[in-house]
């Protein structure tokens, strides 16, 4: 074995040791900016679509989510190739499954609430669900920014829920707080984490 081949073998061994391919989370954080834009569009427009047709609104939400998921999966595969990963890691599968299940649940709850003229609760539900998602991602990946924003979102959701129970009309403020904390939170995470990722 030549010195060059031996050096390459040692580098590959070091790489395999440093990168736990099951727990590793390669991710292009710029995708979070896209999710921020998508969520803002949905929060600000889906009620108008629901007034036309409830089933159409469910399809409208799912359509945007599927579009975002396709783009995310494409860039995730590109990131994985950088680390010689041919498939998703366990951490990636865990996060994607959590987001998938919670998103479907959120869409169903939203449809149920709108069909019963309880629109204001739908924003609260999404703030809570997506906040919980962020908290779980932060916990699973040790990314404190995710966990902190997730906790803030969950607290905001509980405050809005209690205010609604006490008869306060939170419909408009819930909508704009959803845009601020969910959409704004995604964009903030995307900008800051992608900057940190480039500096590493």
| 75-126 confidence digits (pLDDT tens) | 888 887 877 777 777 777 888 888 888 888 888 898 888 888 787 788 999 9
Of residues 170 and 120, more confidently modeled:
170
Residue-level pLDDT at 184: 95
C-beta atoms surrounding 83 within 10 Å: 12
Q: Is 149 or 24 the better-scoring residue by pLDDT?
A: 149
Question: In the predicted model, is pLDDT for residue 14 greater than 50?
Answer: no
Which of 182 and 111 is assigned the larger pLDDT?
Answer: 182
Give per-residue pLDDT as tens, 115-169: 887 877 889 999 999 999 999 888 887 888 899 999 999 999 999 999 988 888 8
Residue 51: the pLDDT is 83
- In 3-state terms, what secondary structure has residue 57? helix
Handedness of CA 180, 182, 183, 184 (dihedral sign): positive
pTM value?
0.81
Question: What are the pLDDT digits (tens) for 28-48?
Answer: 889 999 999 999 999 999 888
Joined together, the tokens standing for residue 194 give 């992608």
Assess whether pLDDT exceeds 50 at residue 18: no
> What does the buried/exposed string (b/e) look like for 18-52 if buried means 16 or more CB atoms within 10 Å of the residue's CB?
eeebeebbbbbbebbbbbbbbbbebbeebbebbee
In this structure, the dihedral spanned by the alpha carbons of residues 108, 111, 113 and 115, taken in order and rounded to 10 degrees, is -140
Helix crossing, 171-178 with 31-52: angle to 10°? Answer: 150
How far apart CA 65 and CA 70 sit, in angstroms, is: 9
Per the listing, tokens 């889906």 go with 46
pLDDT of residue 3: 58
Split at pLDDT 50, 70, 90, the class of 67 is very high
- Burial class of residue 71 in the structure, from the number of CB atoms within 10 Å of its CB (0-12 exposed, 13-18 middle, 19+ buried): middle
Name the one residue in this structure whose structure tokens are 């040791």. Answer: 17
Q: Residues near 193 by Cβ (< 8 Å), separated by ≥ 6? A: 29, 32, 143, 145
Which residues 6+ apart lie within 8 Å of 82 measured at CB?
Answer: 26
Q: Residue 6 pLDDT more than 60?
A: no
Per-residue pLDDT, averaged over 172-181, amounts to 93
Asked if residue 153 lies in contact with residue 129, where contact means CB atoms within 8 angstroms, the answer is no
- Please report the pLDDT score of residue 17 as a whole number: 44
Phi-psi region of 142 (alpha: psi -120 to 50; beta: other; left: phi over 0): left
Higher pLDDT: 200 or 167? It is 167
């Amino acid at each position: 074995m030549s010195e060059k081949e031996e050096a390459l073998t040692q580098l590959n061994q070091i790489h395999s040791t440093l990168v736990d391919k099951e727990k590793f989370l390669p991710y292009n954080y710029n995708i979070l900016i896209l999710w921020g834009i998508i969520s803002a569009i949905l929060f600000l427009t889906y009620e108008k679509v629901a007034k036309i047709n409830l089933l159409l609104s469910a399809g409208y939400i799912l359509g945007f989510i599927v579009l975002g998921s396709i783009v995310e999966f494409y860039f995730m595969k590109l990131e994985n190739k950088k680390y010689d990963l041919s498939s998703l890691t366990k951490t990636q599968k865990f996060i994607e499954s959590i987001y998938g299940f919670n998103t479907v649940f959120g869409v169903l709850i939203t449809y149920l609430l709108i069909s019963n003229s309880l629109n204001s609760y739908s924003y609260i539900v999404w703030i809570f669900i997506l906040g919980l998602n962020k908290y779980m991602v932060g916990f699973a990946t040790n990314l404190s920014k995710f966990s902190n924003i997730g906790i803030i979102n969950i607290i905001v959701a509980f405050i809005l829920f209690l205010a609604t129970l006490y008869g306060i009309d939170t419909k408009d403020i819930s909508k704009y707080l959803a845009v601020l904390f969910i959409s704004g939170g995604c964009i903030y995470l995307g900008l800051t984490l992608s900057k940190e990722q480039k500096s590493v």
